[in-house]
Structure 1
Amino acid sequence: MSDPRPPRYLKPMNRVMMAVQKLGIPTGPAMVLTVPGRKSGKPRSTPMTPFRFDGDLYVVAGYPGADWAANARAAGTGTLSRGRRSRPVRIVELTAAQARPVLRAFPVEVPVGVAFAKSSGMVVDGTSEEFEALAGRLAVFRFDPIGPH
């Protein structure tokens, strides 16, 4: 099975989400991760929905091969923003084994991500078992605070 591509609406929707965030208006649980581009070095910002699991903050890539995930992996650090508040974070990619329990929790913690995964064909029903089975296919990152928080 070939990996799904992001839906056409994703980039325009991301631009709207980032514009609203820049106005200082938090958009639900969404945050914006900014990291340097791996080729250009220019700041690249992507809206995402991190969630807490066992006391840490995690995010799951919406589809395999996501550009933002490759940039985050290469950068290792970035800035996580919500509204006008931002904080530096260390970006730690989980191994498939480490990702399994996080992916298992994902559909309960991020229901909007379930709808996205269903529409992209990554999962059929959106069960915890289906998400856990994506370990090794979808990038999962933990955001660790840098400095005082």
Structure 2
Amino acid sequence: MSDPRPPRWLKPMNKVQMALQRLGIPTGPVQILTIPGRKSGQPRSTPMTPFELNGHLYTACGYPGADWARNARAAGAGTLSRGRKSRQVRIVELTAEQARPVWRAFPTAVPAGVGFYKRAGLVQQGTPEEFEALARRCAIFRLEPSPQDEPRNR
């Protein structure tokens, strides 16, 4: 079975999210992660919904093999922004075993995200067990404060 592909509307919606954020308009829990491209080195931005669990901040990959996740692996660091505030973060990918409890907590931590994974065909009911099974297919990253983590205005 092939991996699900993002819907056609996702890129245009991401552009809208990023434009609103650049204008200083926070859009719910969505934040923008900017990291250098693994090939070009040019900044690449993508909206995401980080969530807190046990005192740590995590973000989940919405699709297996997503370009932003490949860039995150290569870069290991980036800038997380919400509205006009941003901070530097280290990006640490969890192993599948480390990711299992984080995925299991996802439906409770980010209930609005469950529908996204259902529509993508990655889960059927949205149960913790289904999300836990994603640990081998979709990456989870921990976003850690970097040494220069002082929030700054753009």
The TM-score with structure 2 as length reference comes to: 0.95
How far the C-alpha of 1:112 sits from its partner, in A, is 2.4
Question: Deviation at 1:136?
Answer: 1.4
Tell me the equivalent position of 1:70: 70
In the alignment, structure 2 segments of 5+ residues that lack a partner are: none
Distance 2:91 2:42 in 1: 18
Indicate if the aligned counterparts of 1:24 and 1:84 stay in contact, CA closer than 8 A: yes
What is the Cα-based RMSD across aligned positions, in Å?
Answer: 0.8
Structure 1 segments, 4+ long, off by >2 Å, are none
Q: Following superposition of structure 1 onto structure 2, how do residues 1-149 of structure 1 map, counting pairs within 5 Å? A: 1-147=1-147, 148-149=149-150
Scaled by the length of structure 1, what TM-score is found? 0.98
Q: What is the CA-CA distance between 1:38 and the residue it aligns to?
A: 0.6
Question: Is residue 62–residue 113 contact of structure 1 (8 Å, CA) maintained in 2?
Answer: no
Distance in 1 of aligned mates of 2:36 and 2:79: 10
Paired amino acid for 1:94:
L
Mapped to 1, the partners of 2:142 and 2:124 lie a distance apart of: 26
Whether the aligned pair in 2 keeps the contact of 1:92 and 1:143 (CA below 8 Å) is yes
Decide which moves more: 108-117 or 3-12: 108-117
Percent identity reads 71
